């Protein structure tokens, strides 16, 4: 199963080498030691949010599912590994038949998370799980960083639409992933056609300054654009003199002109002047779109301006100063032997410098106050407390190697809006601060308990109590 199952036209290529060499050398040594088939549990989490951020946003889950399905070692890849002497023949034979056959649980895409949240849990043999570390972290760290920046910008925009337009500011493939993550975080459209083609995101775009400069007169450029794209198009009005351009634009397109775009100058001042001029010219329905190195702070500063939409590029695709989410993928439990019935033993790294981890296979739930607002992220081992049974966050994504929870992007986008709305109001403040709710740890005995899914959006399989 892949993106084509949603009616989308592009499959994901093999992801087998989207990994670090030491994943394969660990596999080689584990096969030789007889420990490769020990049942294991890996968890993805972050120890801290980026400085000043109040919450994180889970994004990239759908891409992770595609990557796991397409993690295959074909003849060419095996030949490369053999030529470099990275693994031996026994390991090559094992890799040739590789198919992930375990289970994956995780926060559903679009959900928010906090330090210590078990964002994703991968279960199976050590051998099959360890190979997925790099590609899973690569996707989640990038996409969640972009989605978090997008979410902050969407909050600052106060309901005004946002256009993702950062393709020229990042790697060409990262641009497609960034557009997808931005859509999950609240953006409405993208300028990147590859993102529209692969993921069905609405695309927009009209003209750049080069089109105006191509023509002998600004009027000629506007006329050509209106003749081709219609009166509802967006005309770029800051190539020369803004006031003159607005006057010309309305003369050419009439009061039916769709929008004007401002890409430079004091946007707050210019937007007010342009709005007044448009209204005086009778173009009261013409919208104003602003671009020019915007971030969440610049967007917030324009809250009182007569702006109808924002276009954001560089700051979005670089995570607005935080291009990674600092997520890690750690072994938290493993069996004492290869026997499928062997019990899981909690394991954890102990080190100085803030890199310790907590062992044990975990559940997570979000406790609400009397008003239904989130007050704590509760992470635990053992049975789930009865009062949290219907607030569990992890859902099953892969069962026995088969994807069971692929979703349309609109579902993940709606889920994020709902999840953010359930946080305390201070979550959307742009001032620096600690995570908006604390993470609490609960340690318990083994047991089992089940509940119902709490994530908004399409129902997904729900996390049982931890064994």
Is residue 456 over pLDDT 50?
no
What is the model's pLDDT at position 412? Answer: 98
Burial pattern 61-91, b for ≥16 Cβ within 10 A else e, equals: bbbbbbbbbbbbbeeebbeebeeeeebeeeb
Assess contact for 75 and 350: CB atoms under 8 A: no
Dist CA 98 CA 348 (whole Å): 27
Is residue 10 over pLDDT 60?
no
What is the model's pLDDT at position 443? Answer: 82
CA end-to-end distance (rounded Å), the chain? 29
Assess contact for 378 and 435: CB atoms under 8 A: no
Chain centroid offset of residue 423 CA: 19
Dist CA 105 CA 291 (whole Å): 39
**Look-up: residue for tokens 């670089």?**
318
Rounded (to 5) percent helix, strand, coil in the chain? 40, 15, 45
Dist CA 222 CA 245 (whole Å): 9
Dist CA 222 CA 279 (whole Å): 19
| Bridge partner list, 203 | 190
Chain centroid offset of residue 217 CA: 43
β-pairing verdict for 234-236 and 112-113: unpaired
Q: Measuring CA to CA, which residue among 447, 343, 337, 340 is closest to residue 124?
A: 340
Cα angle 160-176-9, degrees, rounded to a multiple of 5: 110
Is residue 16 over pLDDT 90?
yes
**pLDDT tens digits, one per residue of 413-446:** 999 999 999 999 999 999 888 999 999 999 865 4
Q: Answer positive or negative: Cα dihedral of 94, 97, 102, 106.
A: positive
Confidence of residue 14 (pLDDT cuts 50, 70, 90): confident
Confidence of residue 369 (pLDDT cuts 50, 70, 90): very high
Dist CA 352 CA 48 (whole Å): 16
How is residue 316 written in tokens? 């979005």
**Look-up: residue for tokens 């030491």?**
22
What is the model's pLDDT at position 355? Answer: 74
How is residue 262 written in tokens? 């401002």
How is residue 369 written in tokens? 């106050």
**pLDDT tens digits, one per residue of 224-258:** 999 999 999 999 999 999 999 999 999 999 999 99
Chain centroid offset of residue 398 CA: 19
Side-chain half-sphere exposure of 157, counting CA atoms within 13 A: 25
What is the model's pLDDT at position 445? Answer: 52
400: left (phi over 0), alpha (psi -120 to 50) or beta: left
Is residue 364 over pLDDT 50?
yes
462: left (phi over 0), alpha (psi -120 to 50) or beta: beta
Name the pTM for this structure: 0.91
Dist CA 336 CA 100 (whole Å): 21
**Look-up: residue for tokens 């951020």?**
53
Dist CA 414 CA 243 (whole Å): 39
Q: Classify 96 as helix, strand or coil.
A: helix
Mean pLDDT of the chain: 92
């Amino acid at each position: 199963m892949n993106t084509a199952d949603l009616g989308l036209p592009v499959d994901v290529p093999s992801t087998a080498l989207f990994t670090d060499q030491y994943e394969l050398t660990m596999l080689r040594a584990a096969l030789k030691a007889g420990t490769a088939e020990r049942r294991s549990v890996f968890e993805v989490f972050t120890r801290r949010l980026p400085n000043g951020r109040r919450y994180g946003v889970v994004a990239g889950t759908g891409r992770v599912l595609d990557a796991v399905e397409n993690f295959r070692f074909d003849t060419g890849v095996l030949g490369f590994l053999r030529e470099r002497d990275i693994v031996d023949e026994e390991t090559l034979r094992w890799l040739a038949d590789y198919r992930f056959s375990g289970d994956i649980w995780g926060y559903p895409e679009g959900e928010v998370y906090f330090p210590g949240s078990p964002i994703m849990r991968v279960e199976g043999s050590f051998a099959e799980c360890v190979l997925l570390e790099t590609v899973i972290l690569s996707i989640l760290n990038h996409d969640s960083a972009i989605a978090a920046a997008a979410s902050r910008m969407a909050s600052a925009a106060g309901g005004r639409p946002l256009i993702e337009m950062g393709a020229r500011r990042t790697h060409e493939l990262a641009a497609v992933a960034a557009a997808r993550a931005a859509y999950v975080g609240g953006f409405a459209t993208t300028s990147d056609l590859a993102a529209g083609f692969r993921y069905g995101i609405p695309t927009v775009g009209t003209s750049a300054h080069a089109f105006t400069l191509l023509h002998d007169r600004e009027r000629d450029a506007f006329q050509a654009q209106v003749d081709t794209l219609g009166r509802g198009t967006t005309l770029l009005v800051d190539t020369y003199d803004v006031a003159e351009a607005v006057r010309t634009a309305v003369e050419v397109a009439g009061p039916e002109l769709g929008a004007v775009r401002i890409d430079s100058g004091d946007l707050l001042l210019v937007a007010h002047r342009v709005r007044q001029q448009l209204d005086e010219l009778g173009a009261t329905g013409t919208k104003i779109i602003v671009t020019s190195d915007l971030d969440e702070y610049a967007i917030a500063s324009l809250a009182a301006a007569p702006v109808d939409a924002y276009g954001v590029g560089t700051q979005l695709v670089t995570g607005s100063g935080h291009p990674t989410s600092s997520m890690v993928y750690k072994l938290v439990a493993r069996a004492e032997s290869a026997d499928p019935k062997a019990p899981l033993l909690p394991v954890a790294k102990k080190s100085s410098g803030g890199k310790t981890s907590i062992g044990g296979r975990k559940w997570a739930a979000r406790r609400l106050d009397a008003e239904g607002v989130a007050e704590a992220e509760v992470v635990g081992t053992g049975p789930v407390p009865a009062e949290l049974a219907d607030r569990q966050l992890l859902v099953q994504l892969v069962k026995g190697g088969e994807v069971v929870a692929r979703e349309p992007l609109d579902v993940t986008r709606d889920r994020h809006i709902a999840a953010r709305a359930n946080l305390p109001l201070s979550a959307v403040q742009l001032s620096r601060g600690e995570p908006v709710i604390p993470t609490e740890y609960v340690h318990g005995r083994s047991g089992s308990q089940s509940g119902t899914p709490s994530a908004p959006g399409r129902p997904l399989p729900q996390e049982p109590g931890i064994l």
